[in-house]
Amino acid sequence: MIWGACLGAASGAVLGSALDFSPGVGALVGAVVWAPAEALSTLRQKPAQPKPLWARVIASGLLMSLLGALLGLFLGSLPTAIVAGALVGLMGVRPLKILLGLAVGVVVGLLLDEPALAAGVTAVVYRLISAFLYRRRPLVRIMAEEVPADELLYVVPFEARSRYVGADYVEQLAKVRGGTFVRNPPDVGILASLDTLNGPSFDATRVHPLIREFYEHTSRFKLSIVPEWRPAMKPFYALFKQVVAEPLGQATIPSNIEEAQRGMVSTIDTISVEGGADIDIRGWIRTYADSGKPIYVGIYTTFRHEDRGYVSVGFPIPSSNFTATLQPRNVDDDGLLLTSRSDLPFPGHYLSAVEDGTLTTLKLLAFHEQIHVFMAGGELKTEHSFSLAGQRFLTLHYSIERL
């Protein structure tokens, strides 16, 4: 009720002014109408389900009208509507949605003279059109809401307990979990055995011995990396890296070959929770050789379901976790493919909020990843590619050799 009243009053004031009503009258009408509507949509919302479409569409329009009023202090109606269309289209991730948002913004901006009204109408019209056009292609799916972590096999349930993840994350996790921490023990691998992935689409005995050795004894190898970015994505990633990744100490992938040539140090940190020789948690930490700053921190796990094995890699972030769950496949006679593209229910990417041992989890349906490990000229190679809305935006080319 409080949130609905605040949003209704603020947007009602700017829309009332745009429609030549008193801002005070607009604020009163907005609060009276939207507060109960917001409360009703929240009460009727089922667990692990989004709010009704009508509530999401109207809320988008109200929020965008506030932004439109702010932009209207500097811009006219047309540029404000175009900016609003670009923003809502960008949130849709897909390139065609961005074009749709821009097109709607141009049309609405030409028809309406008030920036706040133009921005709000742009958001509503765009949301309605995109909801119809993409009704069978959603971007996310709510998988669970406040579900015990042990019920979600496909999610790695480890979060960062501070704003910085960093290269010492596994050691900090060991203190929280009460386990025995070992930094980079000899001959350790990111997987205990490749055989745990066996299933209808994968037979570990067909994989080249060097690929098996790499996964089961990763610390015996060193890696070099060459990033291949889609040119249009590099500016966005550069901003993300500076504003988010580096302060977070997670996902600071090299932006170019010059950064990659700084070198990379790879370590496997382990935790034994029960105090025995068995390893319960394996973290693969990669850092820049010249600075020691983290490139990424990933927790590697496997699980089996209906006679199939899967790999899940969890990337801790503050109070949350990003997990990639991949299906193994045999390729190229003796190669290995780990992919999130699958008709099976588990492969995919998951963003989870972690709170008191429970997970609220979204599956990101537009994000895909595959890791192709193969032999070329007697050398071990990997091509690690990422796609968004069907468009590949990054491929990491790895050369792997025994120390």
- Residue 352 burial (CB < 10 Å; 0-12/13-18/19+)? buried
Q: Where residue 257 falls among pLDDT bands split at 50, 70, 90?
A: confident
pLDDT, tens digit, 9 for 90 and up, residues 333-391: 899 999 999 999 999 999 999 988 899 999 999 899 999 999 998 899 999 999 987 88
Angle formed at CA 302 by CA 300 and CA 305, multiple of 5 degrees: 155
Which residues make Cβ contacts (< 8 Å) with residue 30, sequence separation at least 6?
7, 8, 9, 10, 11, 12, 13, 15, 16, 62
Closest CA to 282 of 297, 304, 301: 301
pLDDT, tens digit, 9 for 90 and up, residues 166-183: 899 999 999 888 888 998
Q: Where residue 3 falls among pLDDT bands split at 50, 70, 90?
A: very high
Quote the CA–CA distance of 13 and 19 in Å, as a whole number: 10
Exposed e or buried b for every residue in 62-82, given b needs 16+ CB within 10 A?
bbbbbbbbebbeebebbbbbb
Which residues make Cβ contacts (< 8 Å) with residue 338, sequence separation at least 6?
311, 326, 327, 328, 329, 370, 371, 373
Cross-strand pairs, 264: 288
pTM passes above 0.85:
no
pLDDT, tens digit, 9 for 90 and up, residues 76-114: 999 999 999 999 998 887 878 899 999 999 999 999 999
The conformation of residue 241, written as its DSSP 8-state character, comes to I
Q: What is the pLDDT of residue 262?
A: 78
- The answer on pLDDT for 203 being more than 70 is yes
Q: Where residue 331 falls among pLDDT bands split at 50, 70, 90?
A: very high
Q: What is the pLDDT of residue 297?
A: 93
Over residues 21-38, the mean pLDDT reads 91
Torsion 82-87-90-96 (CA) sign:
negative
**Per-domain residue ranges of the chain:** 2-137, 141-402
The conformation of residue 250, written as its DSSP 8-state character, comes to S
